[in-house]
Structures are given as structure tokens and as C-alpha cells.
Amino acid sequence: MSIHYPLKFEPILKEKIWGGEKLHKVLHKKSIKKNIGESWELSDVDGDVSIVVNGELKGKTLQDLIKTYKDEVLGEKVYNQFSDKFPLLIKFIDAKEALSIQLHPNDALAKERHNSFGKTEMWYVMQADKGGDLIVGFKKDSNKEEYLKHLEDKTLLEILNVDEVKEGDVYFIPTGRVHAIGAGVMLAEIQQTSDITYRIYDWDRQNSDGNYRDLHTELALDAIDYKAENEYKSFYTKSLDEKSNIVDCQYFTTNFLSIKENLSIDNNDKDSFVIYICVEGEISIIYNDNQFEKLCKGETVLMPASFTKFEIRAIHNAEILEVYIK
């Protein structure tokens, strides 16, 4: 039996030392926790596996679905590549304070050191307070010696690139690229399924117990990409009721959809699941003889690979991220 409806999952909410209230107040995530920094929308990370909250499969985990339906969920090509592991992790992040400056190892290093995937990711800025910024990469080419000197002198920002950002800005973060989300920024994050992070500087702050968080100075040295880019922001077009490509890499493809009326979707050309992330407005997904699933700002839905034809109809002007694997 194939799955013929859009799958929603229970958000996994994470308290963070730097978290705030936007995920609760703006995206309506329900929790008694304070300082919610992350909402894991779709996850197959060990210990944090997403659970279905709608339809006949309610209560099943993402792992249950993959083991039962296999390539009907993932797509034959994706299943052959990743077997029973869902390859992407989708998050919303609210940084009331700046995150640590960090980076992620590539696939080879992550496999060798942690038996994990690497962590290539992208950010879509959903909201930014005045002056909200992102740290992404170096200002100019650097090296281990220069980096270590500035790290020891606590002057890393002198050699790192800092961009003030606004809603709709997109940044692609390949493995090895030094980065941090600045205070006042809320964003959607699409990444490989991995929770491996090398923290290199944490602003000398202490947690509630008065302890400093661990830094990973030695591990990071051989994982950092010291090469600078001329531009770190990704540019794309916004055309009504059409798809615009934002990111196209070996780990995922992300398109931007701006929907004022409706858009007919036919994913028969893909051999992959498709994820839709609502970053603005509200839509209905119409399928199977006018059944529908509503998707509001701050919600995520998984379309199994076997579920290919449906219509996206705007309730309020909507902006959606579409994610899949080629």
C-alpha cells in the first residue's frame, strides 16, 4: 500500500542558551519550555526521530514509515543511496542571542571521526531584527596560523565576513565554512542528517550552571575551509505562481515558490520525497478528489515519493520552500 496524503510531524523543540520566544509567538510552536532555540520539523537523528501527527499513520515514526514503505517514501534512487536513513534534517531557528561560531566536517571526516554524515546546510532568513546579521566565511583567504592567532587573541571577527540580513536572504553553508547566526535572526535551515558541530568560539558566555560550553579547537583545524568567497549570499528570483531555484547541490535541491492563487504540481519527474516548508502566508494542498491539508507559516509537510500529483492553493499570499534530492 502506498501513502497518498501529505505527512505532518510533531515539532521537536530544543531549549538553547541563545534561544528566544519567536518560535512560540511568531510560528506558534507550543511548549512550556523557555528559550526555545530550535524546532526540528523533520528529523531522523538518533534520539530525535519525528512522529506523524495526521491521518491514518498518526503515531508512526519517520523510521517506521521508511522501514515499512521504503522507496515509496524516499524514492528508489534515494533509498538505494541512504537505505533506512532519512537524509535531511529540517529546522526553524530563533537566535535571541548569537549562536557560537562554528563549522561542520565534510562527509569523509564525519564518517572517520563520528560515523556520521557531514553537514552541508542552507539558511532562509524568515525575519531579522534591525542590525540582525550572519557570520559566513572569511573576509579574505586565511590559514591555520592566522586563524589560531586571532582565536587566541579573541579577535576572530576581524577576519570573518559579517552580513547584515533581511527576510528572504539565503545563504548556502558547505562543510568547512565557518558560520554563526547573529542575535535577532529567525530562519529556516535545511541540512544533511547530522548533529556534528565543531564549536570554535562561544563569546565567553556561561550556561545556567556557570560552565563554559566545550570548544573543539583541535578537531576544527583540519576541517575548516580557509578560502574566502567574493559573495556568500545566494541570489534568486521571485516569480508569482512559479518555481525559482535557490540551491542545487548533491545533497539537496531547494526551490522558492511564491503563490498568490494556485499551482499544479506533478513530481513524476523526481525519484525522491519532496518537502514543503511554509515561510510566509498559508496554503491548502488539494489532493485525492478534493481532500486538503492546510499548511501555515512555520509548518512543514513531507510528500512521499509515491505521492506525485496535487495542487497548492494560496489561502493568504504564501511563500514556500520546496526541497528534494536529485
pLDDT for the residue 110: 92
CATH code for the structural domain at 12-234: 2.60.120.10
At 148, give phi and psi (nearest 5°).
Answer: -65, -40
- Mean pLDDT, range 190-198, rounded to an integer: 94
Residue 2 pLDDT exceeds 80: no
C-beta separation of 257 from 320 below 8 A: yes
Domain 242-324 part of CATH 2.60.120.10: yes
Per-residue confidence band for 1, with pLDDT thresholds at 50, 70 and 90: low
∠ CA 25-279-124, rounded to 5°: 105
Each residue's pLDDT tens digit, 112-142: 999 998 999 999 999 999 999 999 999 999 9
- Mean pLDDT, range 93-104, rounded to an integer: 97
C-beta separation of 159 from 142 below 8 A: yes
Q: What is the pTM of this model?
A: 0.95
pLDDT for the residue 213: 86
CATH 2.60.120.10 in the chain: give the residue spans: 12-234, 242-324
Question: Reduced to 3 states, what is the DSSP secondary structure of residue 134?
Answer: strand
- Mean pLDDT, range 145-164, rounded to an integer: 97
Each residue's pLDDT tens digit, 316-326: 899 999 999 99
pLDDT for the residue 212: 85
d(CA 304, CA 284): 17
Q: What is the Cα 245 distance to its own chain's centre?
A: 16
pLDDT for the residue 289: 80
- Mean pLDDT, range 154-182, rounded to an integer: 97
Residue 178 pLDDT exceeds 70: yes
Each residue's pLDDT tens digit, 200-241: 999 998 877 778 889 999 999 999 999 999 999 999 998 888
Closest CA to 189 of 280, 119, 132, 107: 119
Per-residue confidence band for 293, with pLDDT thresholds at 50, 70 and 90: very high
**How much is the mean pLDDT over the chain?**
95
**Better-predicted residue by pLDDT, 240 or 163:** 163
